[in-house]
Amino acid sequence: MAEHEYTLPRAEFDKPVKILIVVAPFYRDIADNLIAGATAEIEATGGIFEIAEVPGALEIPTAIGIAERMANFDAYVALGCVIRGETTHYDTVCNDSSRGITLLGLQGLCIGNGILTVENRAQAEVRADPKAMNKGAGAAAAALHLVALARKWGGPRKGVGFKPATDDIQIAGATKGKPIA
């Protein structure tokens, strides 16, 4: 029996979606292909985007968390490539970047994870090819579908993510307006 993959129809929106693409361009050619796929998918829905570069895949969840607190995006696309090397660093980077993205998603952020985790460069090239399997486009499509669900189910987020309930920050042992002795 042949395997059949199903792809959801492209998400549609009444008002444009603003997306932040956070990319770790360690393998520049792979990253550029992932970006090409993601931006084409976003533009196909009438969305707009910004791109932020970070040093590596481990910094992607942190950058998304900062953007969620300090900017105004509907969704995020995480892009990068981790190729297995000779040490266990590969496992740490793959697991921790994925875990960070998952935790942000569970807090209500709409994130498409397009961080490739592969055994070799050839696998990465196939998965980043803009004319074929491009996982950058798939990650953007995932983020867009999550935005569509969020808009379907309700209004703006309240108390989700890293935003404090108030602007007052209380430090243990301090009283409002008085320094800690």
Supply 103's token pair. Answer: 């935790």
4 is catalytic: no
Which of the residues 10, 28, 69, 89 is marked catalytic? 89
Residue whose token pair is 């970070």: 54
φ/ψ (deg, to 5) at 51: -120, 130
Taking each helix axis from N to C terminus, what angle separates 135-153 and 121-128, rounded to the nearest 10 degrees?
A: 50
- How many CA atoms lie less than 13 Å away from 9 in the CB half-sphere? 2
Residue 93 to residue 108: CA distance in whole angstroms: 23
Residue 9 to residue 163: CA distance in whole angstroms: 33
**Radius of gyration for the alpha carbons in the chain, expressed in angstroms and rounded:** 18
Residues with a catalytic annotation lie at 89
